[in-house]
Structure 1
């Protein structure tokens, strides 16, 4: 009983320990049924019989504590041979070693109404709760669960230093007005979860400021902001539930979503997208958020320039996150189901779409935007949709999406082609063709700036081999090819956004969202093709007349 009393005390202190329990023994052994508690420092309470067997079990328990995983140990009381522990008794023993006292630490930066509600709701979820604030009146113990550790400091920078944040911690920032100070202190630190209670606008402002201070995109992608699940929460208590739901989902690496769904709806229809550039990524995001499963096919070395908002970047980096959705390069098509199950979009190197017979999609989207048809036809999937010029709905595919900016951008065409390619980039602050950078010679690109940098007209942006590429105007570098790619003369290698710091290179464009919405419309309408398409064609005729 003393062992269990000590275990209860250590649990309450959140002090790690292991419990070793004999589960099987054969032959001559000192004990046949016993427990032993092993503390994190190697000290013990109880015994399983002493000697070399007990010494080995203590060593195994310390290894289990270091790995934070239980284990089963089998030892033979012999000098030599498999599982020998170095004694002469001749028996054998199997010991199960379980670990305890590792309640994850939930650090709440700020002690306002929302974090008070989070602390109260998290108390029943096996979290070790720490709360810090610069306002002593916010840290009234009556507002928090009994075991909460409260910290008052002169600044949040000082508080975070005193908290000694560790990689296994879950951290939520919700201060009165010092969110940026706390975020600056935490964004570079490895933590299990980092969330910020902020609006989308505030989040984008903070992210842009962090980028100007050269915080890597990989670390920015770890930030959960705006925080929580969209459940229509308004009160602090409701907001706390939405935040803790996301934290628990992250803790267990679960896919999320409502449990009560029809099996077919839960699985979702599979759509394959040819291409994974910025427009294709906008389409993928719209379909993904609408419950479709998405697989993307790209060339081995994509020549996308808006790399920060293109899932094609996974071909270079292995994994990329755009607007909170993750995509991963998958080398083997057999791994696609597991990646989809994990809530990640697979990106495969398959320029010719040769894997379609294996994938057997419910729908296919040609988002290559080559202005010509690269081999897409209606037989590739039950529903086929293509973007922009080069396709004729009713012939090459079931629907074409208008990609030309203007009144008809995002229009779903069920009969006939899209508008012809104008060759003129979108107008931003009066600039069209001039804002696009093209290769002056053939060769390999060597970048001198990175996405998000603000340059002046005439600044050096890159080299093609030894030939410099100069910024054609002042603004933000919103697009740039990946380092080391080979290009031909006149090839598009980047673009400058004349809005400068007002530009946003981290989210998909309005054009991509419009086209993505149109693809979603077509995917929802076309499975009921006969009546829907008949009506759509009638509307097309009316427009032409």
Structure 2
């Protein structure tokens, strides 16, 4: 069998294989010039001489396929010493092992207009494309690129079973009216990326139904929905560009955002003290603007809006908010590697001990404790604090107003923010009533989940032996993590009276406004710093 014809066939099938080629030899070796193809099951075509050295090359090739990266193999025909392969020929051989047939697979569940446009766009991006549908007329070959594999089945569940979904697959659900069936079939399967083309309202309903069926939060968190970048897309081709951009961002482990915004600030690190829902809104603003964002938290954060707080990564290992992932890390070196891959690292460091190693351009105190826990202007060239408890010009360079109203998000460069009112924001006329507090000290245990719709009087949690009842009807938008010890009067939950119309999966308008203020302050302060340095250089 010809090596190159077999390689072409495997490449067409997108079946992994390796090519081993002798690129150097000296002394007595079985071959001085040869090639060998190694399939992913260990079978071979051709030979580089047989014996122990060939066995070693096959082992190295299989390892290279697992790592999806080429490698160079050096072998000495000896029984002892470095690079020895266990033979007595006395020579040495260098073999280059390249890997092939590793195109990422894009699985499109549904053959409608949008998925057809996505298939056409993905064809030139190196994806192995397969489309599944229950309607044969949606799978006409002329609607898709020539290399697309088309799968027809009686149901989407049957189609997904036949697809043999792998952890490396990118999967998009976009059916006519059977999204939920496909989603329930796929939500617990590990994949590189799982997207759902649906409206925000539909996504909320589906997520609530998944929770009611007992699907774990770690599986739900992997779902990307609504999917794609917000570029105002309306036509199938525009939506395809939006979706493919997100897929490529995940595939290439890129941070995303506009090149014009990200490039000038590529090297600017910002450390945010705290990772609650407001801090997360700030982090998203800065991350999208191209900053490298690091977050510091306590060992047991007491956030209640867990679905929109990167602090949840402390409990779950990683979490995703509005398509941006955060991951718990245990060292500065791991944090730096994580941020370079487009993921926000969250470190347990309540006192900021890691700032000396991180050397950030900016520090943002987003603890929102209404008092200063050690933040000072010497921490970084730009130190910004949120809300009361700080004085711009004294312990920080800028303060951002956090009180709702006309001045929310205002940047203060001299002085303080407004004092805390102690009154939560009004939703449909409800303020303090919608906030749930512990009646006494004890361990928190929830009875409902975020996103659940409850009626007034429903039991939503216990603290110690006390049952906590919903003070009004609506959606559970905030809820403390189970197992945390709380004191009497501690905030443990939040009910949104808008019910099903509420959105617990996105950051609040308040968080976005404050995040905008932080971004403005960082841009202003760093610009001032650049101008000051230029002035010093000019005088010198």
Q: Normalising to structure 2: TM-score of the pair?
A: 0.86
- Residue 45 of structure 1: SS of its match in structure 2? strand
Q: Match of 1:493?
A: 492
Q: Deviations over 1:201-258 (max 9, x none)?
A: 4434433433333333322332233333445555433433443333333223233455
Q: Deviations over 1:235-288 (max 9, x none)?
A: 433433443333333223233455577953333x43333322212222222222
Aligned runs of 1:282-293 on 2, under 5 Å?
282-293=281-292
Shift of 1:33: 1.0
Q: Is residue 207 of structure 1 aligned with residue 207 of structure 2?
A: yes
Q: Is residue 33 of structure 1 aligned with residue 71 of structure 2?
A: no
Q: Match of 2:369?
A: 370
Aligned runs of 1:216-295 on 2, under 5 Å?
216-231=216-231, 233-257=233-257, 264-267=264-267, 269-295=268-294
Q: Match of 2:163?
A: 163
Shift of 1:56: 4.3
Aligned runs of 1:265-344 on 2, under 5 Å?
265-267=265-267, 269-344=268-343
Q: Match of 2:352?
A: 353
Distance 1:502 1:442 in 2: 33
In structure 2, the CA distance between the partners of 1:410 and 1:55, relative to structure 1 (3 Å rule), is: closer
Distance 1:353 1:326 in 2: 22
Whether the 8 Å contact between 1:221 and 1:324 is mirrored in structure 2 is no
Shift of 1:511: 2.1
Higher Rg = 1
Q: Match of 2:130?
A: 130
Q: Match of 1:121?
A: 121
Distance 2:280 2:201 in 1: 22
Distance 1:56 1:384 in 2: 56
Shift of 1:79: 5.6
Q: Is residue 9 of structure 1 aligned with residue 9 of structure 2?
A: yes
In structure 2, the CA distance between the partners of 1:248 and 1:30, relative to structure 1 (3 Å rule), is: same
Q: Match of 2:536?
A: none
Any unmatched runs of 5+ in structure 1?
A: 531-545
Q: Deviations over 1:413-468 (max 9, x none)?
A: 44544333222223334433333333333343344443334444444444444444
Distance 1:129 1:51 in 2: 40
In structure 2, the CA distance between the partners of 1:32 and 1:209, relative to structure 1 (3 Å rule), is: same
Whether the 8 Å contact between 1:461 and 1:471 is mirrored in structure 2 is yes
In structure 2, the CA distance between the partners of 1:310 and 1:329, relative to structure 1 (3 Å rule), is: same
Q: Deviations over 1:274-329 (max 9, x none)?
A: 32221222222222223333333332322222222222222333322211222233
Shift of 1:151: 2.0
Shift of 1:169: 1.8
Distance 1:200 1:232 in 2: 15
Whether the 8 Å contact between 2:19 and 2:36 is mirrored in structure 1 is yes
Whether the 8 Å contact between 1:170 and 1:191 is mirrored in structure 2 is yes
Distance 2:528 2:26 in 1: 70
* Large movers: runs of 4+ above 6 Å: none
- Residue 266 of structure 1: SS of its match in structure 2? coil
| Residue correspondences, number | 529
- Residue 420 of structure 2: SS of its match in structure 1? coil
Shift of 1:505: 2.4
- Residue 161 of structure 2: SS of its match in structure 1? helix
